[in-house]
Protein backbone atom coordinates (compact mmCIF):
# COMPACT_ATOMS: atom_id res chain seq x y z
CA UNK A 1 0.00 0.00 0.00
CA UNK A 2 2.23 2.76 -1.16
CA UNK A 3 -0.46 5.03 -2.50
CA UNK A 4 0.52 8.59 -1.77
CA UNK A 5 -0.49 12.03 -2.87
CA UNK A 6 2.05 14.35 -4.42
CA UNK A 7 2.78 15.96 -1.05
CA UNK A 8 3.64 12.55 0.42
CA UNK A 9 0.57 11.98 2.56
CA UNK A 10 -1.10 8.58 2.48
CA UNK A 11 -4.36 8.04 0.65
CA UNK A 12 -6.87 5.27 1.32
CA UNK A 13 -6.21 2.28 -1.01
CA UNK A 14 -9.93 1.55 -1.07
CA UNK A 15 -11.69 4.87 -1.66
CA UNK A 16 -8.67 7.12 -2.45
CA UNK A 17 -9.77 9.42 0.36
CA UNK A 18 -7.11 11.62 1.90
CA UNK A 19 -8.48 11.78 5.44
CA UNK A 20 -6.28 9.02 6.83
CA UNK A 21 -5.37 8.86 10.50
CA UNK A 22 -2.53 6.89 12.12
CA UNK A 23 -3.75 5.65 15.51
CA UNK A 24 -0.69 3.52 16.21
CA UNK A 25 2.90 3.19 15.07
CA UNK A 26 5.67 1.07 16.47
CA UNK A 27 9.17 -0.04 15.66
CA UNK A 28 9.42 -3.60 14.48
CA UNK A 29 11.83 -5.67 12.44
CA UNK A 30 11.30 -7.09 9.00
CA UNK A 31 13.86 -9.58 7.72
CA UNK A 32 16.31 -8.22 10.25
CA UNK A 33 15.75 -4.66 9.05
CA UNK A 34 14.38 -2.22 11.61
CA UNK A 35 11.27 -0.52 10.31
CA UNK A 36 8.23 1.40 11.46
CA UNK A 37 4.87 -0.29 11.23
CA UNK A 38 1.92 2.13 11.22
CA UNK A 39 -1.74 1.35 11.51
CA UNK A 40 -3.88 3.45 9.21
CA UNK A 41 -7.58 4.18 9.36
CA UNK A 42 -9.53 5.94 6.62
CA UNK A 43 -11.90 8.52 8.07
CA UNK A 44 -14.05 8.43 4.95
CA UNK A 45 -14.86 4.73 4.53
CA UNK A 46 -13.43 3.18 7.72
CA UNK A 47 -10.96 0.93 5.87
CA UNK A 48 -8.07 -0.21 8.08
CA UNK A 49 -4.65 -1.32 6.93
CA UNK A 50 -1.05 -1.11 8.00
CA UNK A 51 2.14 0.03 6.36
CA UNK A 52 5.79 -0.75 6.94
CA UNK A 53 8.38 1.90 6.27
CA UNK A 54 11.58 0.36 4.92
CA UNK A 55 14.67 1.93 3.35
CA UNK A 56 14.48 1.96 -0.45
CA UNK A 57 17.79 0.14 -0.83
CA UNK A 58 16.53 -2.63 1.44
CA UNK A 59 13.40 -3.02 -0.71
CA UNK A 60 15.52 -3.25 -3.85
CA UNK A 61 17.53 -6.07 -2.34
CA UNK A 62 14.41 -7.81 -1.11
CA UNK A 63 12.77 -7.55 -4.51
CA UNK A 64 15.77 -9.19 -6.14
CA UNK A 65 15.78 -12.05 -3.67
CA UNK A 66 12.03 -12.74 -3.79
CA UNK A 67 12.04 -14.63 -7.07
CA UNK A 68 14.87 -16.87 -5.88
CA UNK A 69 13.02 -17.40 -2.66
CA UNK A 70 9.87 -18.49 -4.45
CA UNK A 71 11.88 -21.16 -6.25
CA UNK A 72 13.36 -22.69 -3.11
CA UNK A 73 10.32 -22.16 -0.91
CA UNK A 74 8.54 -25.43 -1.67
CA UNK A 75 11.62 -27.49 -0.88
CA UNK A 76 12.12 -25.63 2.39
CA UNK A 77 8.51 -25.82 3.47
CA UNK A 78 8.55 -29.60 3.35
CA UNK A 79 11.09 -29.89 6.15
CA UNK A 80 10.83 -26.59 7.99
CA UNK A 81 8.16 -25.94 10.56
CA UNK A 82 9.33 -22.57 11.83
CA UNK A 83 6.47 -20.19 12.57
CA UNK A 84 8.72 -17.14 12.48
CA UNK A 85 10.04 -18.11 9.08
CA UNK A 86 6.57 -18.81 7.76
CA UNK A 87 5.45 -15.40 8.98
CA UNK A 88 8.36 -13.79 7.13
CA UNK A 89 7.22 -15.51 3.97
CA UNK A 90 3.73 -14.10 4.47
CA UNK A 91 5.17 -10.60 4.92
CA UNK A 92 7.32 -11.04 1.83
CA UNK A 93 4.28 -12.02 -0.19
CA UNK A 94 2.50 -8.85 0.99
CA UNK A 95 5.45 -6.75 -0.13
CA UNK A 96 5.58 -8.54 -3.45
CA UNK A 97 1.89 -7.85 -4.05
CA UNK A 98 2.61 -4.19 -3.36
CA UNK A 99 5.36 -4.21 -5.98
CA UNK A 100 2.98 -5.81 -8.44
CA UNK A 101 0.26 -3.26 -7.82
CA UNK A 102 2.79 -0.46 -8.18
CA UNK A 103 4.08 -1.88 -11.45
CA UNK A 104 0.57 -2.31 -12.83
CA UNK A 105 -0.58 1.10 -11.75
CA UNK A 106 -1.94 3.26 -14.54
CA UNK A 107 -0.05 6.51 -15.02
CA UNK A 108 -2.06 9.39 -13.61
ZN1 LIG B 1 -11.32 5.04 2.41
31: left (phi over 0), alpha (psi -120 to 50) or beta: left
For the segment 75-100, the average pLDDT, to the nearest whole number, is 59
Q: How far, in Å, is the centroid of ligand 1 from the Cα of 1? A: 13
Instruction: Reduce the DSSP state of residue 30 to 3 states and report it.
Output: strand
Q: How far, in Å, is the centroid of ligand 1 from the Cα of 43? A: 7
Q: How far, in Å, is the centroid of ligand 1 from the Cα of 16? A: 6
pLDDT tens digits for range 23-59 = 999 998 887 888 888 899 999 999 998 888 888 788 7
Give me the pLDDT at residue 57, please. 82
Give me the pLDDT at residue 59, please. 78
Q: How far, in Å, is the centroid of ligand 1 from the Cα of 48? A: 8
| pTM beyond 0.95, yes or no | no
Given pLDDT bands bounded at 50, 70 and 90, which one contains residue 79? very low
Amino acid sequence: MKERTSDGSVVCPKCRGQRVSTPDSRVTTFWGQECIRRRRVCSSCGFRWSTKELPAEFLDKLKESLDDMERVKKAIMVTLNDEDYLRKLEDARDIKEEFRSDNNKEPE
